[in-house]
Amino acid sequence: MKPAMAESTVHSIEIDAPAAACFEVAADVESYPEWAAGVKQVEVLEEDSEGRPLRAAFVLEGFVKEISYELTYDYDPPHRMSWRADPSPDIAMLEGSYTFNETEEGATEVVYALSVIPSFNLPGFVRRQAEKQIVTTALRGLRRRVQERVT
């Protein structure tokens, strides 16, 4: 049985690009170490018929130690992508998503939701601060990467 989604951190950012361009960058998880702060290594383990990752193994630079986990992805291009982690020695539960909402002006509002419960002891307020930092840093990195590609 899948655990209930814990309280999540949700932030958004506007990117001056179409949703499809934002989705394309976000779905290219193998390139995350090039632009996503803290992502040290990504290995795609399985792809769908479109070449998008279905499963990927991650190594992150953690606050205290390196954190490893595997994610399973689900896609609704170019509107949404979501992921969840298999329980591991580092992660008890991790679920997240990007939602891409085009504005009337042709830009895209990207909404990032993330909920993480580590397998190690971490006070709730520290976990929430870490989630907030991960989400805001990822959104800024995504915006920079998309804008590099569309200009």
- Average pLDDT, whole number, for the chain? 91
Domain CATH for 37: 3.30.530.20
- Total number of domains in the chain: 1
65-76 pLDDT, tens per residue? 788 999 999 999
Q: What is the mean pLDDT of the segment spanning 68-91?
A: 96
Q: How many angstroms separate the CA atoms of 61 and 137, rounded?
A: 14
Any residues with CB less than 8 A from the CB of 37 and at least 6 apart, and which? 137, 138, 141
Give a yes or no: residue 72 inside a domain.
yes
Domain that holds residue 15: 9-150
Model pLDDT for residues 50-62, shown as the tens digit of each residue: 999 999 999 998 7
**Quick one: pLDDT at residue 6?**
58
**HEC states along 33-88?**
HHHCCCEEEEEEEEECCCCCEEEEEEEEECCCCEEEEEEEEEEECCCEEEEEECCC
What pTM was computed for the model?
Answer: 0.90
